[in-house]
Amino acid sequence: MDKGDRKLHASKAHKEEESFLNRRNELFRRLPKIDRIMGMELTKELTEQYGYRAVLEAARKVEEELRDAMRQQILVEEKPVVFLDTSGLSGQKDGLPVKLSDLKALSGITLDYTEYILQEMKSLLAHRSQRQMQRVINATGVILHTNLGRAPLGDRLVSELVPLMTGYTNLELNLEDGKRGSRYDHFAENLCKLTGAEAAIAVNNNAAAVLLMLTALASGGETVVSRGELVEIGGKFRIPDVCSQSGTMLVEVGTTNRTYLEDYENAVTENTAAFLKVHTSNYQITGFTHEAEFVELAEAAHNRGIPLLVDFGSGSLVDIAFYGIEPEKTVQELLKKGADIVSFSGDKLLGGPQAGILAGRKDLIEKISRHPLMRALRIDKFTAAALDKTVSIYLDEGQLEKEIPVYDMMSRSAEELKRNALWLMGELLADASEYEFAVTSTRNPVGGGTTPGKTLPGAALQIRSLNGKGLSAQEISDCLRKMDTPVIGHIVDDWVYLEMRTIRTGEELEILRKELKYDLYKKNPQ
């Protein structure tokens, strides 16, 4: 290549580079400033939901990705650039992909990326939030739904917890003498008043309570338990596996369906450390069955100097038969009939935070509290405070259904639930060209291993596509789960069921109405 050719080649390359830069800058100039984006009304709404920092980061990320796309599309002109406002071109719709080679045809037309950026920000923030814990509306009808966090806390309780969680507390400080105190004292006294227990402590969940109880009281010895009570709880955790970690040897007695007092008595050896009773939680054995009378079992244990330990699972401090559910024993009843220690959950029928509570004989509780595992399994300040507030509500007669959501939901009549379902259906029927609705009677389990097989009468709103015009049942369910406030229902025979019992408040009903109207009718991909 001679000197003249080199100059010509260099000039051509320079012109191409200049053209590239001009086209790039032309596109870049069309991008709105970040300040403008952050001042938009939709951005303000997103800021209220996700926080300013998260929204600002999302805006910067979307705009930077858009710049990168523009750079690539400039280098390969056959790839389209998406212009959000091409309404000035006859016959073209907003969002039509336009090639760079058509840029001249678009001269003089306002091309605005603002709406695109806002929608991409919204999608990005929503996707991120799905990986984070967020509020959902429980429309399954299962009150103690493990996947949805079991017992919700009451509004007043939460409001009283806020100043305790945002500041320092006397968690382990005795304010009377200024010396170190116990984190368990805050709720133990009231719990003992309620249950008749001599002492009480708590750890992080009931499986931990059982593990700690057996480790402290029966490690190296034998624990006698009925074969019919060797249950598997959620997450494939099995009672025998939990117990074996304690160092005790399980001695199984009786059969799956029938266990007698003499089965326990005949199993006693010099190595017997405890009798164990386990709530059967998520199943029932019916028909040809038998179990030892509790009072007689307690007497047999005590005559031999053996403690009777009870894993009571969900537990209860009140007679739930009042709510139309088959009665179960209460913690008070078990202790009165001779149980030495009862362990039960804090976040089930108690209606409080996740915890495993141990209540019973003072000497045994003290022995348990001195075990090294106690520190590893101890509750934090939130749990201690929430247990204190929850137990205090039980002492305030007449406040249970007002302050504990679990009991509020159990107390609702089928008639009230039907009225709520009919109201919601009436709100949606006006725009129901693609869907059909119905209100049906249902049965609602309490959940959480409580009264297995027993349910409360309920009512649900049913939704399904009308003659294939709308979304399928699975698509409706997916749509509900991806709403700004996710809604979790269930599907039966191509109908989506929204159970009214666990839609807790008028606010949740209103959220559901608004989001259903928008998501089903405005965003239907069909």
* Segment 136-157, tens digit of pLDDT: 999 999 999 999 999 999 999 9
What average pLDDT score do residues 256-268 get? 95
Helix (H, G, I), strand (E, B) or coil at 354: coil
Picking from 132-136, 268-272, 287-291, which range would have the lowest pLDDT averaged per residue? 132-136
What average pLDDT score do residues 423-436 get? 85
The answer, yes or no, to whether residue 430 has pLDDT greater than 50, is yes
The answer, yes or no, to whether residue 304 has pLDDT greater than 60, is yes
212: left (phi over 0), alpha (psi -120 to 50) or beta: alpha
The answer, yes or no, to whether residue 281 has pLDDT greater than 80, is no
Q: What is the mean pLDDT of the chain?
A: 84
The strands making up 272-278's β-sheet, listed across from edge to edge, are: 199-203, 356-360, 341-345, 308-311, 272-278, 222-226, 249-253
pLDDT band at 521 (very low <50, low <70, confident <90, very high): low
Rounded distance between C-alpha atoms, residue 343 and residue 255, angstroms = 24
pLDDT in tens, 42-98: 888 888 877 888 888 888 888 888 777 766 655 544 444 444 444 443 333 344 444
Q: Give me the torsion for CA of 318, 324, 325, 326, rounded to 10°.
A: 100
pLDDT in tens, 333-392: 999 999 999 999 999 999 999 999 999 999 999 999 999 999 999 999 999 999 999 999
CA distances from 192 to 200, 359, 361 (A): 7, 8, 11
Predicted TM-score (pTM) of the model is 0.77
Place of tokens 């109908």: 495
Nearest to 191 by CA among 54, 1, 355: 355
Place of tokens 């320092």: 168
The answer, yes or no, to whether residue 326 has pLDDT greater than 80, is no
Is 152:405 a contact under the CB 8 Å cutoff? yes
Rounded distance between C-alpha atoms, residue 221 and residue 59, angstroms = 63
pLDDT in tens, 194-236: 999 999 999 999 999 999 999 999 999 999 999 999 888 766 7
Highest mean pLDDT among 102-106, 202-206, 474-478: 202-206
Nearest to 197 by CA among 366, 350, 377, 400: 366
Nearest to 251 by CA among 268, 233, 238: 268
Domains of the chain plus CATH, in order, are 3-130 (no CATH), 137-147+408-521 (3.90.1150.180), 184-317+324-403 (3.40.640.10)
pLDDT band at 106 (very low <50, low <70, confident <90, very high): very low
What tokens were used for 401? 């259904």
What is the Cα Rg of the chain in Å? 32
Tell me, what DSSP letter sits at residue 40? Answer: S
What average pLDDT score do residues 446-469 get? 86
Nearest to 139 by CA among 519, 501, 505: 501
What tokens were used for 481? 């789960």
Which distant-in-sequence residues (6+ apart) come within 8 Å of 98 by Cβ? 80, 81, 82, 83, 86, 106
Looking at residue 46, what is its pLDDT? 85
Is 105:81 a contact under the CB 8 Å cutoff? no
pLDDT in tens, 393-420: 999 878 899 999 999 999 999 999 999 9
List alpha helices for 173-320, DSSP H: 185-195, 206-218, 239-244, 261-266, 294-303
The answer, yes or no, to whether residue 113 has pLDDT greater than 70, is yes
The answer, yes or no, to whether residue 282 has pLDDT greater than 80, is no
The answer, yes or no, to whether residue 187 has pLDDT greater than 50, is yes
CA-angle at 191, arms to 190 and 196, nearest 5°:
105
Q: At what angle do helices 185-195 and 381-395 cross, to 10 degrees?
A: 30
Q: What is the DSSP string of 407-469?
A: HHHHH--HHHHHHHHHHHHHHHHTT-TTEEEEEEEEEEEEETTEEEEEEEEEEEEEEEESTTS
Beta strand 356-360 with 341-345 is: antiparallel
Looking at residue 505, what is its pLDDT? 81
pLDDT band at 524 (very low <50, low <70, confident <90, very high): very low
Looking at residue 397, what is its pLDDT? 74
Looking at residue 504, what is its pLDDT? 86
Looking at residue 6, what is its pLDDT? 54
Rounded distance between C-alpha atoms, residue 43 and residue 56, angstroms = 9
What average pLDDT score do residues 168-172 get? 94
The answer, yes or no, to whether residue 458 has pLDDT greater than 70, is yes
What tokens were used for 164? 């305790």
Looking at residue 396, what is its pLDDT? 86
Helix (H) or strand (E) holding 138: strand 137-138
Looking at residue 332, what is its pLDDT? 96
What average pLDDT score do residues 464-482 get? 87
179: left (phi over 0), alpha (psi -120 to 50) or beta: beta
| Residue percentage of the chain with pLDDT more than 90 | 54
Of residues 15 and 485, more confidence is placed in 485
Helix (H, G, I), strand (E, B) or coil at 496: strand
In DSSP terms, which residues pair with 82 in a beta bridge? 97
Rounded distance between C-alpha atoms, residue 38 and residue 53, angstroms = 11
